[in-house]
């Protein structure tokens, strides 16, 4: 296989997992290369994501690494043989790579969780809300890029509204529902959109009201995407230094716990719908 200049986040994740398996087996890259009958440079390139790996070679490596987790190996084999060029590819070179990586991550996700405090989660946003949000960016975006970002965000909705929707659970703070992004009319439409989407069986929306005292020490906003096996789950966090992907087992366990804690103290889905209805009437 040829070398890649810019591996995707999914390709890099496969590479990282192969390196973790090798290290868990206590083998060096040189020793792994000898077992596979290649040179150590090729192993290094595979583990950097700059070179792909065939399913046959991946399974041989897993056998050499004495990995007994067949579900994990099968999932990695699917990733290795994946040649999907999804809808997001039309934006390559036109939008930041992080946008494409998120779309690819969502496409393959077995479920999605969101926790947000200041904004409505992207998958629930209306076009008017998304446009107003992107318009606030500093420096200001050119109109063409602004339009691309809005269109991309709307297309992401396919994972909860397409023919094969993924189970989706969102926890949103009251602050995000009260901030009038785009003005009163846009926010009225946004609340109506959340209520519409929350009627689907696979979509659950919960609200954290200001008055909830138990929430004070739980402050982890997140985008959590389920993998084919729990080890391949991914958390995306948007911070001041850019988007970061969390994929270590220990950190994933922390975010799973935080999400369940936030869900446990938030309003149940029915009370949340009533709460959102009440906010909409105030507008």
Q: Which architecture does CATH list for 89-282?
A: 2-Layer Sandwich (3.30)
- Per CATH, the homologous superfamily of domain 9-81 is lambda repressor-like DNA-binding domains (1.10.260.40)
Q: What is the pLDDT of residue 26?
A: 97
Is the distance from CB of 10 to CB of 103 less than 8 angstroms? no
Instruction: Say if residue 218's pLDDT is above 90.
Output: no
Whole-angstrom distance, CA of residue 246 vs CA of residue 122: 19
The model's pTM? 0.93
Domain chopping of the chain, boundaries: 9-81, 89-282
Tens of pLDDT along 119-176?
999 999 999 999 999 999 889 999 999 999 999 999 999 999 999 999 999 999 999 9
Q: What is the pLDDT of residue 221?
A: 85
């Amino acid at each position: 296989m040829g070398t890649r200049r810019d591996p995707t986040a999914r390709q890099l994740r496969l590479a990282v997992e192969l390196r973790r398996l090798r290290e868990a087996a206590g083998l060096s890259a040189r020793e792994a290369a000898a077992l596979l009958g290649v040179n150590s440079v090729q192993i290094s390139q595979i583990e950097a994501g700059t070179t792909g790996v065939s399913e046959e070679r991946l399974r041989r490596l897993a056998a050499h690494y004495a990995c007994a987790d067949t579900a994990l190996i099968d999932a990695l084999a699917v990733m290795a043989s994946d040649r999907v060029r999804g809808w997001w590819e039309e934006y390559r070179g036109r939008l930041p790579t992080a946008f494409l990586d998120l779309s690819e991550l969502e496409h393959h996700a077995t479920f999605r969780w969101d926790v947000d405090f200041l904004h409505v989660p992207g998958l629930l946003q209306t076009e008017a809300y998304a446009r107003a949000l992107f318009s606030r960016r500093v420096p200001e975006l050119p109109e063409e890029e602004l339009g691309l970002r809005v269109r991309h965000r709307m297309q992401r909705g396919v994972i909860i509204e397409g023919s094969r929707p993924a189970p989706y659970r969102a926890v949103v703070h009251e602050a995000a529902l009260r901030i009038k992004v785009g003005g009163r009319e846009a926010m009225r439409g946004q609340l109506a959109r959340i209520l519409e989407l929350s009627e689907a069986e696979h979509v659950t929306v919960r609200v954290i009201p200001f008055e909830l005292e138990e929430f004070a020490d739980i402050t982890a906003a997140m985008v959590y995407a389920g993998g084919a096996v729990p080890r391949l789950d991914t958390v995306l966090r948007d911070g001041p230094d850019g988007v970061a992907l969390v994929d270590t087992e220990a950190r994933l366990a922390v975010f799973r716990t935080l999400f369940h804690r936030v869900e446990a103290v938030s309003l149940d889905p029915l009370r949340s719908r009533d709460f959102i209805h009440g906010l909409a009437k105030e507008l």
